């Protein structure tokens, strides 16, 4: 009674191993057999939990979401200050902290499958909607506290993540550190403008 199911422990372990292989060798080269070898278990156990590579891929997308949601973690000292919490999250999003939460090559490889696989498409929609909903709720909290006056929190959260998605897609091609930081600061300012928290000349 109360003993944690081995399934609960095994599934994240398998997903993380699959992610590690995808990161090192490419998603197309990751397999159930390689995943099993990496964590020294029988391939039949991987199949028992995930049945096919496609099912393991679904688990990986859920893992991406869990990692990305960490960006909403803020210091406990900000608990009663919704404005500070929101600004911290914006800082987190427009920083390398966000960009290193999950490997771009794996994330984009997973995302590309959404154009051919309706289940992957649906799961990515849930992932991206979850990020927007979390930000929307933070904006609503600020509105209620009287520290912001945003007319449409849902639309504003959506626009901010449109900026985020476009920013990191483009910045993945930028090698110069100074250019990267300059552009990232500019994109962050545009996000703050959506919240009426920045100058249009910033």
DSSP letters of 46-91? HHHHHSSHHHHHHHHHHHHHHHHGGGG---GGGTT-HHHHHHHHHH
156 in Cβ contact with 95 (< 8 Å): no
Q: How confident is the model at residue 8 (pLDDT cuts 50, 70, 90)?
A: low
For residue range 101-157, list pLDDT tens digits in order: 778 888 889 889 999 999 989 988 988 999 999 999 999 999 999 999 999 999 999
Question: Would you kindly state where each structural domain of the chain is located, as residue ranges?
Answer: 6-51, 76-194
CATH architecture of 6-51: Orthogonal Bundle (1.10)
pTM comes to: 0.84
Domain 76-194 sits in CATH at: 1.10.357.10
The confidence score (pLDDT) of residue 7 equals: 56
């Amino acid at each position: 009674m109360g003993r944690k199911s081995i399934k609960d422990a095994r599934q994240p372990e398998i997903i993380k191993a699959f992610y590690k292989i995808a990161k090192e060798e490419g998603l197309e080269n990751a397999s159930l057999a390689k995943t099993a070898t990496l964590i020294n278990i029988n391939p039949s156990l991987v199949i028992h939990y995930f049945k096919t590579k496609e099912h393991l891929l679904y688990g990986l997308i859920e893992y991406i979401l869990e990692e990305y949601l960490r960006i909403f973690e803020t210091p406990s000292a900000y608990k009663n200050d919704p404005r500070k919490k929101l600004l911290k999250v914006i800082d987190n999003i427009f920083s390398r902290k966000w960009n290193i939460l999950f490997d771009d090559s794996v994330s984009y490889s997973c995302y590309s499958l959404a154009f051919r696989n309706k289940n992957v498409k649906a799961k990515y929609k849930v992932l991206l909607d979850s990020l927007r909903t979390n930000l929307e709720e933070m904006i609503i909290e600020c509105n209620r506290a009287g520290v912001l006056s945003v007319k449409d929190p849902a639309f504003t959260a959506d626009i901010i993540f449109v900026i985020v998605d476009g920013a990191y897609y483009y910045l993945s091609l930028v090698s110069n550190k100074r250019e990267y930081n300059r552009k990232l600061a500019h994109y962050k300012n545009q996000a703050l403008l959506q919240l009426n928290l920045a100058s249009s000349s910033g």
